Amino acid sequence: MTFEYFVFMLLNGLSQGMLLFIIASGLSLVFGVLRVINFAHGSLYMIGAYLAYSLSATLTDGSMLSFLALLVAVPPAVAILGFVVEVTLFRRVYREEHLLQLLLTYSLVLILDDVVRVIWGGDPRNVARPDLLAGSVDIMGLALPTYNVFILVIGPVIALGLWLLLYKTRTGNIIRAAVSFPDTLGALGVNVSRVMTATFMLGCWLAGLGGVLVAALASVDLGIGMEKIIESFAVVVIGGLGSVGGALLGSLIIGVGITFFQLPFGRWALVFPYLVMAAVLIIRPWGLFGKPER
Amino acid sequence: MQLVVENINTYYGLSHILFDVSLEVNQGETVVLLGRNGAGKTTTMRSIMGLTAPKGGRVVFNGEDITGLAPFKTARKGIGFVPEDRRIFPDLTVQANLEVGTKKGTGSRNPWSLEKIFEIFPRLDELSKRRAGNLSGGEQQMLTISRTLMGNPDLVLLDEPSEGLAPVIVKVLGDMIDLLKQEGITVLLSEQNVKFALKHSDRAYIVDNGHIKYHGSVAELQNDEDIKKKYLAV
């Protein structure tokens, strides 16, 4: 492998990792505060992708402006769907055992996936890249799609935004306090159930954003939700459940790892996340950035 | 009466913990709830706060029935709770812990601020940027009380604050309780450290096996060796 090709593959892998981070950070954040592993997170991401497809069909000019419109409109729509799901369903199971929570989120996967099948059908869909992002960038003689560069920019922006929100604002302090002791936070006068709803909506917003971004990256079909929830789950196990920094590291490891493993191993590279996850579970079961459970 | 607890019965799942517990606290008073480990002191506080809602009986605060209200609503009515195990938010800085506790009080007076807390506890000022999880037990106790005060409560429930603290810190804690009295804040204290508690309180209740067994002034209790032997193992 030449050095140029190595850099090219690395950038490719990093852009895959950044996309995965946007989705997995939402899953991790929601788990941290709500203590529920939301398997329907992948379905919400998929709904974001299909919504982007439908909306783009009405905005046919292919301009950067209409693509930005998707980025602005679709994630809040998914967040509103999340609001409905949290208030009507999730809220009832926070104090129940994990099995019940898993059954709820898994049944939600089945329902949402079928709703998507009914509305959009089984054919693969995609969103045309806007003119501005349709070309490619020359990286030492190799052509990297401009769109991947775009994701390479968006990912760190989201990571920085989440970091500022969580570590530099009172809201972030409240979210992190809710991760440690929700009851104590409530006794201080904070409406914790509202914090939980807002966190869930933020998680869904991130899933929706990932959905828009993937719709112009690859083709969208009924399998993408399941594929990404499994990868995201691997990410949060590797990085540590509830840790956004861990989600970033885990996503980049998996994105870059899969990209490089694909060269010699082809489709077998999909095994890579599980190998890393197994290794982390053996060596550091609480994840690279996580903390042992109390 | 600022706080009236009337015949409350509280359960953890199926086990009945409090049996017709009643107590009253006047505005500005410091009242102590004494009793052995597991007698029902913490459960009484959790019942008042709404963290474990009583199944029967009433909790009345400033003339308003607050029985079983969600804890954040109880807090907004003017009751502050300092949990036994302190529960400071370990990943937040000392200052962030205090800021998370900040809220307006019920009246127009909002006497508590970061400056005032740092004046009383200069140690917390020095540590303000430090991760709260790295504080010593005594420092954490100061922080958890301060965090509750930042919510400008009218009544503070202090659950076993002296537990596990070095004697020198217990003395600081006593000064703090006296200061709350001077500030006009009502305190309901729960303690196993009888000597410490009686030194800083006006009246005392004794709870045993989920029943209130005694109440009286501190002076009366101090002279009643039988009661002290029977319920407090002094």
What does the pLDDT look like over A255-265, one tens digit per residue? 999 999 988 88
pLDDT at A208: 98
DSSP category for residue B65? E
Residues of chain B whose beta carbon is less than 8 angstroms from a beta carbon of chain A are 49, 51, 70-72, 74-76, 80-81, 83, 87, 89-92, 96-97, 99-101, 103, 147-148, 151
Question: Is residue A90 included in any domain, yes or no?
Answer: yes
What average pLDDT does the segment A191-200 reach? 96
Closest CA to A42 of A104, A91, A110: A110
pLDDT at B144: 97
Q: Distance (Å) from the C-alpha of residue A190 to the closest C-alpha of chain B?
A: 5
**Rounded Cα gap, residues A126 and A214, in angstroms:** 9
Q: Which of A27-36, A192-201, B43-52, B100-109 has the lowest mean pLDDT?
A: B100-109
pLDDT tens for B11-29 read 999 999 999 999 999 999 9
**Rounded Cα gap, residues A272 and A255, in angstroms:** 10
Nearest by CB to residue A188, choosing from B90, B91, B147, is B147
Question: Is residue B234 included in any domain, yes or no?
Answer: no
Spatial neighbors of A294 by CB under 8 A, at least 6 apart, are none
| Percent of chain B that is helix, strand, coil (3-state, to 5) | 35, 25, 35
ipTM for the complex shown: 0.93
pLDDT at B224: 86
pLDDT at B8: 96
Interface contact B91-A191, CB threshold 8 A: no
Question: Is residue A43 included in any domain, yes or no?
Answer: yes
Domain of residue B21 covers 3-228
Size of interface A-B (CB pairs under 8 A): 61
pLDDT at A2 over 60: yes
- Count the domains in chain B: 1
Instruction: Report how far Cα A220 is from the mean position of its chain's Cα atoms.
Output: 15
Question: Is residue B233 included in any domain, yes or no?
Answer: no
Q: Which CATH number is B152's domain given?
A: 3.40.50.300
Interface contact B100-A190, CB threshold 8 A: yes
What average pLDDT does the segment A151-165 reach? 96
pLDDT tens for B110-127 read 789 999 999 999 999 999
Nearest by CB to residue B92, choosing from A176, A188, A192, is A176
pLDDT tens for A214-242 read 999 999 999 999 999 999 999 999 998 88
Q: Distance (Å) from the C-alpha of residue B230 to the closest C-alpha of chain A?
A: 34
What average pLDDT does the segment A9-16 reach? 94
Question: Is residue B103 included in any domain, yes or no?
Answer: yes
Chain B residues whose CB is inside 8 A of the A192 CB are 72
Q: Which CATH number is A225's domain given?
A: 1.10.3470
pLDDT tens for B140-192 read 999 999 999 999 999 999 999 999 899 999 999 999 999 999 999 999 999 99
* The pTM of the whole model exceeds 0.80: yes
Q: Does A181 touch chain B (CB under 8 A)?
A: yes
pLDDT at A294 over 60: no
- Count the domains in chain A: 1
Chain A residues whose CB is inside 8 A of the B49 CB are 187
- Coil vs helix vs strand at A293: coil
**Rounded Cα gap, residues B144 and B163, in angstroms:** 14
**Rounded Cα gap, residues B81 and A147, in angstroms:** 53
What residue spans of B109-166 are helical by DSSP H?
Answer: 114-120, 122-126, 137-149
Question: Is residue A288 included in any domain, yes or no?
Answer: no
Nearest by CB to residue A188, choosing from B70, B75, B96, is B75
Closest CA to A256 of A6, A26, A49: A6
Q: What would the two tokens of residue A145 be? A: 């799609």
pLDDT at A292 over 80: no
Domain of residue A185 covers 3-283
Question: Is residue A222 included in any domain, yes or no?
Answer: yes
Question: Is residue A118 included in any domain, yes or no?
Answer: yes
pLDDT at A151 over 70: yes
Interface contact B72-A192, CB threshold 8 A: yes
Question: Is residue B93 included in any domain, yes or no?
Answer: yes
pLDDT at A266: 85
pLDDT tens for A39-93 read 999 999 999 999 999 999 888 677 888 999 999 999 999 999 999 999 999 999 9
Chain A residues whose CB is inside 8 A of the B94 CB are none
Q: Does A165 touch chain B (CB under 8 A)?
A: no
Interface contact B100-A185, CB threshold 8 A: yes
**Rounded Cα gap, residues A35 and B200, in angstroms:** 41
Q: What would the two tokens of residue A247 be? A: 């989600």
Q: Which of A24-33, A284-293, B147-156, B208-217 has the lowest mean pLDDT?
A: A284-293
Question: Is residue A293 included in any domain, yes or no?
Answer: no
